């Protein structure tokens, strides 16, 4: 599998490294306006390949995207301390359109994974732009709340004392402040959350839920405050998505993609559980939320819809 990663900053380089560690591609080309940075990152990653998997990693130009199976977009202005993801919108939209022109020219058959924030709106722009150019809009997806869901499951697993891989629950909606933690449909080992917690003698009341909600919802802000940016978590999320697509795992993950309508809001892009396989999105998972969660999801969708409409 040949991958192109556009943007060789912390997120792009970390994603490339994580993909190489898992053997998720046979060839990775890093593209960045700072060619020296891309060359340095490619060399550093390539030097680690003898310890794990042989992967051809190199810096290139857009023309090197030819025959790429998948292109990952991480380029954009980084989120600054105190800045919301939605505030990044106008800064990154123009960058994205320019990148899409190059991808369409050199690799129009590839799947496109958007990781640039605000990822929901960037994915919406990329998808509609591809559609306007005559391409299949369904081949454009975003990382969405894949990372938020991982944070949710990790914190729940820590609290309950179980492997997060056996905690099934989702974070949906915006990848940001209005995201929705789906407490009502969580199960652990096939048991509803409260039943499992009761059997294990673990407190799982509103207080505990509020603490976990806050830690998930504001995780990025705490990390950015401490070290300037986040990249390990999203790099891992990108690697996981690539692995699912490369091996056609047909897994349910909370990527973001355009939907015609959700909870009464039309033509918006946000994260929901999707069945993802070798050709990208296969289906959206139907699920039942509590009334409060449904209301919160509608609020999240309306926030994103407003931002999209402001873009015209």
HEC string of 141-205 equals EECCCHHHHHHHHHHHHHHHCCCHHHEECCEEECCCCCCEECHHHCEECCEEHHHHHHHHCCCCC
Between CA 102 and CA 304 the distance in angstroms is 27
Answer yes or no: are the C-beta atoms of 85 and 79 closer than 8 Å: yes
Helix (H) or strand (E) holding 122: helix 119-132
Which residues sit opposite 276 in a β-bridge? 251, 281
Which residues sit opposite 180 in a β-bridge? 172
Between CA 131 and CA 133 the distance in angstroms is 5
- The vertex-103 CA angle with 102 and 105, nearest 5°, equals 65
Positions marked catalytic = 175
Angle between helices 206-217 and 219-227 (to 10 degrees): 50
Only one residue has tokens 């990390």, namely: 223
Angle between helices 146-160 and 232-246 (to 10 degrees): 110
Between CA 62 and CA 106 the distance in angstroms is 7
Between CA 288 and CA 294 the distance in angstroms is 9
Between CA 87 and CA 81 the distance in angstroms is 12
- C-alpha torsion angle, residues 146, 82, 308, 62 (rounded to 10): -70
């Amino acid at each position: 599998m040949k991958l192109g990663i556009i943007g060789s900053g912390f997120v792009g380089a970390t994603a490339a490294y994580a993909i190489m560690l898992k053997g998720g591609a046979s060839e990775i080309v890093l593209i960045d306006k700072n060619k020296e940075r891309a060359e340095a990152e490619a060399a550093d990653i390539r030097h680690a390949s003898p310890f794990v998997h042989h992967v051809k990693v190199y810096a290139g130009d857009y023309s090197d995207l030819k025959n790429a199976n998948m292109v990952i977009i991480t380029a954009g202005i980084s989120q600054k301390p105190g800045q919301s993801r939605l505030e990044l919108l106008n800064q990154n939209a123009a960058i994205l359109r320019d990148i899409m022109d190059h991808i369409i020219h050199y690799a129009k058959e590839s799947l496109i994974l958007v990781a640039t924030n605000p990822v929901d709106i960037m994915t919406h722009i990329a998808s509609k732009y591809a559609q306007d150019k005559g391409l299949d809009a369904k081949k454009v997806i975003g990382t969405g709340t894949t990372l938020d869901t991982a944070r949710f499951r990790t914190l729940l697993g820590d609290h309950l004392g179980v492997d997060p891989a056996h905690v099934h629950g989702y974070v949906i909606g915006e990848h940001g402040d209005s995201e929705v933690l789906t407490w009502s449909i969580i199960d652990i080992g096939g048991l509803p959350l409260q039943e499992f917690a009761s059997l294990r003698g673990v407190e799982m009341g509103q207080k505990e839920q509020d603490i976990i909600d806050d830690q998930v919802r504001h995780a990025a802000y705490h990390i950015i405050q401490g070290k300037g940016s986040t990249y390990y978590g999203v790099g891992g999320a990108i690697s996981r998505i690539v692995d699912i697509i490369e091996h056609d795992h047909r897994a349910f993950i909370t990527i973001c993609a355009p939907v015609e309508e959700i909870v009464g809001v039309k033509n918006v892009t946000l994260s929901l559980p999707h069945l993802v396989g070798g050709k990208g999105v296969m289906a959206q998972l139907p699920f039942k939320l509590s009334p409060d969660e449904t209301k919160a999801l509608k609020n999240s969708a309306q926030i994103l819809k407003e931002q999209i409409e402001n873009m015209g």
